[in-house]
Amino acid sequence: MRTYFEPDEIETYETAKDLLIRRCVRWAAERRTPVDPFALAAALDFRHESIDGRLGYWTAALAEEFLLSFAPRTLSTDARAAAGLPDSLRHLIEYLDLTALLDPTGDPQGDLDAAITRSVPAFAAAMADQSNFGVAKFWVMTAIGHGVDPTDSSAMSGFFDDVDAGRIDHDDEILAQIIARHERQGGGRVVRAVAQLPVSLPARPELDAVAEQTPIVTRLRALISWVGDGRVLTTTGNLRLADARELVTLLDTGDTIDPKIGDRVFRTKSSAELPGLARLVELAKKIRLVRVVKNRLVRVAKASPLLRYGSALWTAAFDAQPELGLPSRSTPWVAEHTRMLDSVLGDVLPDVLNTVYGLPVPIPVIRLTESVWSACAATYYLDDLDPATATRWREGVSSNTRRLFDELAELGAVELTVGHPDPMYRSDLDIDDPMSLPPDARERLRAALDTVAGEVELIALTPLATQAVRARLLREGRSAPLVGELFDTEPAQLLGMVAEYYSEETTHAEITGWLAAHGGPEHGLPLLLDGIRDCPFRTRAAAMLDVLAQTMPDRSAFLHGLRADPHLGPTVVQLLIADNEITPDELDAEEGLRAMAEQFIHLMEAAGPEAVTGTLADLPTAQARDIVAALRDSGHPDDTGLEELLAVTEAHITERNPERASPTALKRNSSSRAKRGKHR
């Protein structure tokens, strides 16, 4: 049971959604607390169709967004019929928490429950307000209001004919508002962001100490101290030249006053001719340290806390980089390709930083400059450029990007080195993927990154930048795992998270750290194994046990030691067979039956009932009947999974051969399992 699916995994997601809804409805029924499957499906779709796609990740803000925005916009039902939706969401989150599927990096279950309660008074009004509807819902609800069944395609076709003919009354003003909002929001579709790998960061005090020593923090503080009670500007809004001369030295901006070229001295006539100083002052304005009031540069009083904490000040300076634009745009003459890149920098630079974020080894700079050029070409129509001009523009964009990297290095955000590129940065260049770089770009990269091409320039984020990028990703609602953030979570949450989102290296670090925080392996390992035993989804339990075994000094010995475990045994057997440690022929009869049941339960969870019946349908009736009988007598420990499996398989056998089916078989099996105790 996964809680994250790529957008193109349509069937896999729908199967998982059906399983989760089925189990949640069953759990609620046992508690005599009804839930609406339609509401559960809507809530899961809301999370699946989001920027991060994590079904188990919920915050108070997300719960409120679902109830007060998503549901009113998309669910074609009236407020009265949807009255139970908040409680259904409440029960879904409670079930996710109970089964350890609730993402521990989101808000606690109690906070989510409180957010739902707060939203209830406004929910009915939001559902009834037509201005909240989406375009599709507007017409569906209008059709229903005129007695038209929206599921009847013929009736809906006639309805729209009546709309076009002016025979259907509707609020044109509200419809116009809905369409305008729909267009502003890009059609209402959220683009799934690329999942980020977990990162490791130094302790916060260490990062704070590094930030305090960065030149940008020192310069900004010195600038604000110099501004004092305010400084008069020129009539054009620039620093006075005398002040600029003082600041170039005080702040070490790298500018040259009255530069000498050959035998000639070029007198500096304005502070605007000093790009380093001008950029620093502009940065101070962007992050609201200073502002201009009546032609004076003055301090912003509310900026005092920001100035006090070096890490916060550095992060603010880093986050402002896209707004500052390219360093080269302040030169007297700006090339067209520079203006082009500068116009898209607000989108391109965050994408570049996201690309570098979390990479295990530095990435070649040329890979990024080629990506930046491709982004420019995708934004602007450049097909009319002749080859020579296109090459000049591409090289210009590369040069501008490289100067931006120098600026980021000066800031302390990236490290630029020279070395041989890791082979991983060549591995995808021969793959003809429509989503990859254009053929000419791949050809240039193959030549530049060839093993005989020598060393190239490499780039990596510093820990300060990694922390800042991660904070931005979290603000955007994206997943950005951090090694160490799961040390205090429940065992099943830990293993479920690392199984879905962590690399092999970060999995080892997270589990090792968790064990250290829980008394070491002697005390912590039994807790982790109990977490796997309590998992009600066998596919998830298998993934959890698999990642735990990967961190053990001897995976084989660890798994063999669990082979006789009453609950984990069937999962262990599957892993040992996959590892080629044992073969199915080595299993005794009892172990073989449980292993077969384990396989079918996995198939049921991962591919759905149709996959199970499809497997049986390919077999002769007698053999299929024998398999179902074997499943019935397997003694598999997953009561719920086996009961669901038998309901499907026995119904299949009944359909194939009604006179041979035993109507009491499932009842007998359920009774025998009840004697062993029920496992959710």
pLDDT at 664: 42
Q: Looking at the structure, tell me whether residues 415 and 497 fall in a common domain.
A: no
Q: Percent of the chain beyond pLDDT 70?
A: 95
Q: Rounded to whole angstroms, how far apart are CA atoms 424 and 147?
A: 60
Whether 424 maps to a domain, the answer reads: yes
Q: Looking at the structure, tell me whether residues 295 and 353 fall in a common domain.
A: no
* Count of Cβ atoms closer than 10 Å to residue 632 Cβ: 22
Q: Looking at the structure, tell me whether residues 229 and 155 fall in a common domain.
A: no
Q: Which of 420, 446, 475 is the last residue of a domain?
A: 475
What is the mean predicted confidence (pLDDT) over 39-57?
96
At 331, the pLDDT band (50, 70, 90 cuts) reads: low
In three-state secondary structure terms, 568 is coil
| Nearest residue to 297 (alpha-carbon basis) of 363, 339, 244 | 244
At 182, the pLDDT band (50, 70, 90 cuts) reads: confident
Where is average pLDDT lowest: 136-140, 392-396, 482-486, 539-543? Answer: 136-140
Whether 5 maps to a domain, the answer reads: no
What is the mean predicted confidence (pLDDT) over 628-646?
94
Q: CB-based burial of residue 16 (10 Å sphere; 0-12 exposed, 13-18 middle, 19+ buried)?
A: buried
What is the mean predicted confidence (pLDDT) over 615-640?
93
Q: Would you say 598 and 590 are in contact if contact means Cβ atoms under 8 Å apart?
A: no
Whether 325 maps to a domain, the answer reads: no
Q: Looking at the structure, tell me whether residues 665 and 557 fall in a common domain.
A: yes
Provide the whole-model pTM: 0.87
Q: Looking at the structure, tell me whether residues 563 and 672 fall in a common domain.
A: yes
Asked if residue 508 has pLDDT above 80, the reply is yes
At 64, the pLDDT band (50, 70, 90 cuts) reads: very high
Q: What are phi and psi of 192, to 5 degrees?
A: -65, 130
Q: Rounded to whole angstroms, how far apart are CA atoms 591 and 562?
A: 13
Q: Looking at the structure, tell me whether residues 81 and 181 fall in a common domain.
A: yes
For 460-477, the pLDDT digits (tens) are 999 999 999 999 999 999
pLDDT at 671: 38
Q: Percent of the chain beyond pLDDT 90?
A: 74
* Count of Cβ atoms closer than 10 Å to residue 373 Cβ: 25
Q: Rounded to whole angstroms, how far apart are CA atoms 96 and 483?
A: 23
DSSP string, 477-521: T----BTTTTTTS-HHHHHHHHHHH--HHHHHHHHHHHHHHTTHH
Share the mean pLDDT of the chain: 91
Which residue segment(s) compose the domain that 263 sits in? 204-319
pLDDT at 435: 64
| Nearest residue to 92 (alpha-carbon basis) of 3, 171, 10 | 3
Whether 353 maps to a domain, the answer reads: yes
Q: Looking at the structure, tell me whether residues 208 and 177 fall in a common domain.
A: no
Q: Looking at the structure, tell me whether residues 221 and 288 fall in a common domain.
A: yes
Whether 1 maps to a domain, the answer reads: no
Asked if residue 515 has pLDDT above 50, the reply is yes
Whether 194 maps to a domain, the answer reads: no
pLDDT at 114: 96
Q: Rounded to whole angstroms, how far apart are CA atoms 106 and 584?
A: 42
Residue 153 structure tokens: 């395609």
Q: Looking at the structure, tell me whether residues 412 and 532 fall in a common domain.
A: no
pLDDT at 666: 39
For 408-436, the pLDDT digits (tens) are 999 999 999 999 999 999 888 887 775 67
For 291-321, the pLDDT digits (tens) are 999 999 999 999 999 999 999 999 999 999 9
Whether 401 maps to a domain, the answer reads: yes
Q: What is the CA radius of gyration of the chain?
A: 31
Where is average pLDDT lowest: 241-255, 360-374, 433-447, 562-576? Answer: 433-447
pLDDT at 674: 37
Q: Looking at the structure, tell me whether residues 268 and 303 fall in a common domain.
A: yes
Q: Looking at the structure, tell me whether residues 407 and 541 fall in a common domain.
A: no
What is the mean predicted confidence (pLDDT) over 378-392?
91
At 667, the pLDDT band (50, 70, 90 cuts) reads: very low
Q: Looking at the structure, tell me whether residues 643 and 671 fall in a common domain.
A: yes
For 334-358, the pLDDT digits (tens) are 889 999 999 999 999 999 999 999 8
